[in-house]
Amino acid sequence: MHCSTNLIINETPCKCTTEFKSVVGNGKIEILKNNDEINGLKYIMKQYSDINRKNSDFNEKILKTTTVLKLKVNQISGKAFEK
C-alpha cells in the first residue's frame, strides 16, 4: 500500500529524489456475510464519524449490492525514506 510521497527537486538532475512511506503485506481475504458484513461496515464508518450506527440504519437493498472484505494479515512490513 502506498502511503505518501514527496518529490524533492534539485538543480542537478541526478540529485533529485523522492521521500516515501509505504506498507507491504500479505494475507488471506475473507468475504463477510450477514451480521459480520454490517459489523465491518460499522467499523469502517466509525473511523469517519462518532455516530454509533444500528443494524437497522443499513438499507437492505444497498447491502445486497455491497461486498465487505476482511484481510487477515499474515505478514506486514513498512519502509520510509525522508531526507
* Identity of the residue numbered 8: I
Task: Categorize the per-residue pLDDT at 3 as very low, low, confident or very high, splitting at 50, 70 and 90.
Answer: confident
Largest CA distance in the chain: 60
Q: Which domain holds residue 46?
A: 2-81
Buried b (16+ CB within 10 A) or exposed e, 1-35: eeeeeeeeeeeeeeeeeeeeeeeeeeeeeeebeee
* CATH number of the domain within which 36 lies: 2.30.110.10
pLDDT tens digits, residue range 6-51? 888 988 878 899 899 998 899 999 999 999 999 999 999 998 988 8
User: What's the total number of domains in the chain?
Assistant: 1
* Residue 71, helix vs strand vs coil: strand
pLDDT of amino acid 66: 95
